[in-house]
Amino acid sequence: MDSSSRRRRVPLVDMLSVMFGVGAWISINGLWVELPLLVQALPEGWSLPSFMSIIIQIANIGPIFYSVMHLLVPHIVHEKPSIYVLMVIGVLSSLLMGFFWDATSYINGEEHSTGLLTLLFFLSLVDCSSSVLFMPFMARFRQAYLTSYLIGEGLSGFLPSIFALIQGVGGNPSCRNTSTIVNGSESWQIEAFYPEPNFSVSVFFFILMGLMVCCAASFIGLNHCGVARQERYESVATRIPVAIDNQTFVASTEIVDPTFNGKSAKINCQVELDSVSEEQQLVNTDIPKSVFIYLLLLQAWVCALSNGALPSIQSYSCLPYGNTAYHFAVTLSAMANPLSCLIAYFLPITNVCLIVVFSFLGTSVSAYIIALAALSPTPPLVGYPSGETLMILSWILCVGLLTYVKVSIASLFRMEEGKGNRNLFWFGVFTQVGSAIGSIIAFLLVNVYQYFDAYYPCT
């Protein structure tokens, strides 16, 4: 087969692959960027992010269950029917979220957002399970379309941020005197009034549902469109998920690609890595065992911060500077994640010392953010534009640096000759362990020990 045929791409299949990738993490990413409005309206208030982090960790029961059942009864439990089930759950949960996100009930005498948190579990079940289902499914297609899928995954964090920026938060709250009549006597109190955003929270969730519908339609197209079926590999030897994580999944597949003259070609896929160039895949590295263990511990530490602790206390570090500042910190830092992956694709780090330097810088910025949360409701420079700007830039820089470190460690592990699958399996394990530890510690500090204090603008 000539080189022109070898490079041929079908735009329709590229588009379907991108939209399929958008659905992978669209729900969770959308909820995170909507937090500035959710914490105003729901009873958990500033502690809502810590509840969300714990529920997302619990939802990893989905990919674990699928992986076990796939190994035990692979002829019954496999990708295509499982993905169809996920799509139904995702679309229905997104639809219900638009109607019941503010539904509450009392549990042990305390009011909780049972509507949002229950539906969050099902949406997280879909997103976390996509890690062990979407990538193996895409392994059926030519390697060129894997890049399109990963672009879609990057957009799953970028698109909700764009919609959140358009939505806005209406501005910072104003304080007003309100009167209430109790037993015939009138009393006055000062309450905070929040301006209305450009469109409601329900509309935002309906937009996310529309994107999930597009994802489901793209999956159907990839399965049944004749042009898409022609872009598949003739045979797939293995499709085995090797690591599970709410943020990162590694899949390894042995395939026979007709465009490579029938030669076996191995593809390793990483969610947070857009892809690894052919030149990088050919580099042979030998990582000493001590360095390998150190990098795994570093990965666990970075994920404990980025996936667990920092999201749980984001409201405490941002809201004292105002609702608008919180809004920009959440949306712009969400955009920094795919941007950092893109930078890592063109400028990868293979030097361990540089990885350590970047992780130190990310940890230093994280320490500043944690200090802001600990000093709430009166962190440094509160009430000054310089304080707001520094806080927002800190969040953008923190997410960018920590994401760059995670991608770089995964790249280094993948390039080790003959050990890429084993390395990335342990990479996924330590990623999940670190994320869980960070979420649990943050949840205890926020909700049990009540270490962080909320800011009330009208007190």
Residues linked to residue 110 through DSSP beta bridges, in sequence order = 107
Using alpha carbons, select from 152, 242, 158, 288 the residue that is nearest to residue 432: 242
Average pLDDT, the chain: 82
Question: How large is the angle between the packed helices 79-100 and 114-138, nearest 10 degrees?
Answer: 150
**Residue ranges with strand state E in 249-397:** 250-256, 264-270
Query: Which among 24, 13, 38 is positioned nearest to 326, based on CA atoms?
Result: 38
Whole-Å CA distances, 322 to 175, 316, 368: 13, 11, 18
Question: Where does the pLDDT of residue 248 fall: very low under 50, low under 70, confident under 90, or very high at 90 and above?
Answer: very low
Q: At what angle do helices 201-224 and 79-100 cross, to 10 degrees?
A: 160
Residue 57: C-alpha distances to residues 172, 322, 346 (Å): 32, 29, 31
- Could you report the per-residue pLDDT of 4-59, keeping only the tens digit for each? 345 578 889 999 999 999 998 899 999 999 999 999 889 998 899 999 999 999 99
Strand partners, 124: none
User: Counting Cβ atoms within 10 Å, is residue 232 exposed (0-12), middle (13-18) or buried (19+)?
Assistant: middle
Matching residue, tokens 């990963």: 150
Identify the DSSP state of 347. S
Residue of 25, 307, 346, 328 lying closest to 155 (CA atoms): 25
- What pLDDT score does 294 carry? 95
Q: Output the pLDDT for position 175.
A: 78
Fold of 9-170+199-233: Growth Hormone; Chain: A; (1.20.1250)
Please give the pLDDT value at position 254. Answer: 34
pTM, full prediction: 0.80
User: Which is nearest to 27 in space by CA: 117, 124, 116?
Assistant: 124
- Mean pLDDT computed over 203-215: 96
List the domain boundaries for the chain. 9-170+199-233, 287-458
State the average pLDDT over residues 423-437. 85
Tokens representing residue 167 in the block = 């939505």
